[in-house]
Structure formats: structure tokens, C-alpha cells
Amino acid sequence: MERQRGMGRKGSAFAGLSVAITTPFKNGELDLVALRQQVQFQIDAGVQCLCPVGTTGESPTLTHEEHERVISEVVQAAAGRVKVMPGTGSNSTAEALRLTRWAAKEGADAALMVAPYYNKPTQEGFYQHYKAVAEAVDIPLCVYNIPGRTGKNIEPETIVRLADIPNITMVKEATGSMDQASHIAGATNLTILSGDDSMTLPLLAVGGEGVISVVGNIVPRDMLSLLKAFRDGDLASAQAWHAKLFRLCRDMLSLSTNPIPIKAAMKMLGRDTGELRLPMTPLESAGENKLRTTLTEYGLL
């Protein structure tokens, strides 16, 4: 049974599973061969969208040139077979605008814009930041609200204001607050995407339409199964998938800062070197042991 509310949301083309892909490194440099392999892995799994150069993609430690290169490479590798929504946010509006213009020029389908971090704008500052970028580009924008990283919440009243801007069509909801998500779902026509894997099912229940997933880097088909079960009205199956995925999702965010655990998991699974850039450091041995146990119990090792 399709939910009627979701059918009319203005970002519904991006409903479903988007995967926040990691940025592979080899000897300190971008590993573009591995990046293209990641893109193909996700396309083979049937995901709806790829989100490179976000938090999981270690965008804070990429140079501007590398950030742009990853966007271009992923768009080219996807070749229209799957949507691409790269991270283009910054705490500088001018920099966010430059990156978003680059994404649009290279053929990205949308842009994922994290809230300006560190400088902690006022709510009017948040509004003007997104408005400035939205008026300068014609691709859809997803407001990425993650106060645990940025230091300040974009309040729901501000997101309601932003929803009136035509090409602001989505919000990546990573506040952990079902009240905030419910407010946005009831007061706007935005497509709401979960920013926390373990909160995907609860968010779907209050009007969300999908997830931008970290765990999707290793088990995209399982997350797709959860989403399909919910969309088909099979709540028992959706709950079963939620229960199966929960510990894996929890480990990805609790063992260390994202993307440290997911890169460690991909290394264990033979899909990545596991390299990170400082100030990110590898998972410590106790965390590695716990992660290996989780992957083994899940059936991946």
C-alpha cells in the first residue's frame, strides 16, 4: 500500500535508498579505480542514489580540487544509471555555492548541503545561506541537518520557510528528534530522508521517504529490503529487517566517529584499504574486535 502523503512530496524522485559512499584512498591519494568499483557495486545492488563527498566521504579533509574530482568521477561512473547527489555544503556560503555550481555543471541530479558548521549562524543566517545557493542553481537541494556535527540545529520553523523555495526539495534529518521530523512532515511538502540508519524505520513511520545510508556501503540490499517491506505495507517484515540491521547500524556510529568504522568494515570485507586522512585515525583494536564479531554474527565474515 503506497502512502498518499509521500506520493505528492516535491523531492519524491529521491525516495528510497541513497548511499553515502566513502572516498577510497591509496598511499594518501584518491583511489579512483576503487571509487568506480564502489559506484558499480551500488548500481548492481539496485540503490536509488549515490551521495559522494559527504561526512562519510571525508569531505572535510579533501582539497577543493579533490572534492570536485570525486563529484565528476562519480557522475561519470554512474552514467545516468543511478542518481547522484554529492555533498556540496560548507560553513562559507561562497564555497558552498562554488561546489554546488560545480556539481550542477558536471551533471549531478541534486546536491546535499550540510548546515554551515562551526560559525553557528542564526536561523536567519541558515535561511539566507540556503536561499542564496538555491537561487543560483537549478538542481534540487537537500538540507542536511546534523546538529551533533555542526553545533547548531536548523529549527523546524526555518525548514518550513526553506520549503517555500522551489528547488529546496528534501531534508536529510539527522537530529534524532522524531518531534522535529514530525513537525517537518506535517508542515511541509519536503521529502524527508533519514540521516541515521538505525532511525530509518521510525522516520518512515512519521512520514519519511527513505535514507541516506552509511551501512548501505556494505549491505545495500538489506536496507532496500527494509524500505520495500515498509512501502508494501508489510510492517512485520520491516521490523524484522530493522532488528537484523540494528546492531550493524549501531556499530557504524558508536564504535568511533563516522567514517572510521565503515572504512574498517570495508577493509575487513576486502573492499577498501581502510585508509583515512588525519585527523581521522583507524579503529582501535578493541573496536576492531567488536566490529569483526558483529560482521561475523551478521553473516558477512
Report pLDDT digits (tens) over 167-194.
Answer: 999 999 999 999 999 999 999 999 999 9
Does the active-site annotation cover 172?
yes
Task: Tell me if 287 sits within 8 A of 256, measured CB to CB.
Answer: yes
Residue 97: is its pLDDT beyond 50? yes
Q: Which three cell numbers stand for residue 98?
A: 562554488
Q: Which three cell numbers stand for residue 72?
A: 565528476
Is 273 inside a domain boundary? no
Give the integer Cα–Cα distance in Å for 218 and 96: 29
Q: Which three cell numbers stand for residue 183?
A: 513537525
Is 191 inside a domain boundary? yes
Range 46-64 average pLDDT: 97
pLDDT digits (tens, 9 = 90+) for 134-144: 999 999 999 99
Is 246 inside a domain boundary? no
Does the active-site annotation cover 144?
yes
Q: Give the residue from 13, 188, 161 showing the smallest Cα distance to 85.
A: 13
Residue 4: is its pLDDT beyond 80? no
Q: Which of 83, 127, 130, 172 is catalytic?
A: 172
Q: How much is the pLDDT for 240?
A: 98
Beta bridge mates, 211:
17, 194
Is 193 inside a domain boundary? yes
Is 85 inside a domain boundary? yes
Is 226 inside a domain boundary? yes
Q: How much is the pLDDT for 146?
A: 97
Residue 2: is its pLDDT beyond 80? no
Tally of domains within the chain: 1
> What is the chain's mean pLDDT, rounded?
96
Q: How much is the pLDDT for 202?
A: 97
Is 244 inside a domain boundary? no
Q: How much is the pLDDT for 8?
A: 75
Q: Which range of residues forms the domain containing residue 173?
A: 4-234
Distance of CA 209 to the CA centre of its chain: 13
Residue 31: is its pLDDT beyond 70? yes
pLDDT digits (tens, 9 = 90+) for 119-162: 999 999 999 999 999 999 999 999 999 999 999 999 999 999 99
Q: How much is the pLDDT for 34?
A: 98
- Which CATH number do you get for residue 38? 3.20.20.70
Q: Which of 83, 127, 130, 144 is catalytic?
A: 144
Give the integer Cα–Cα distance in Å for 247 and 111: 30
Residue 1: is its pLDDT beyond 70? no
Q: What percent of the chain has pLDDT over 90?
A: 97
Is 269 inside a domain boundary? no
Give the integer Cα–Cα distance in Å for 82 and 109: 9
From the CB of residue 2, how many other CB atoms can be counted at a distance below 10 Å? 9
Give the integer Cα–Cα distance in Å for 116 and 272: 30
* 141-170 core/surface letters (b: 16 or more CB in 10 A; e: else): bbbbbbbebbebbbbbebbebbbebebbbb
Give the integer Cα–Cα distance in Å for 132 and 143: 13
Range 202-212 average pLDDT: 98
Res. 3 pLDDT band, cuts 50 70 90: very low
Res. 99 pLDDT band, cuts 50 70 90: very high
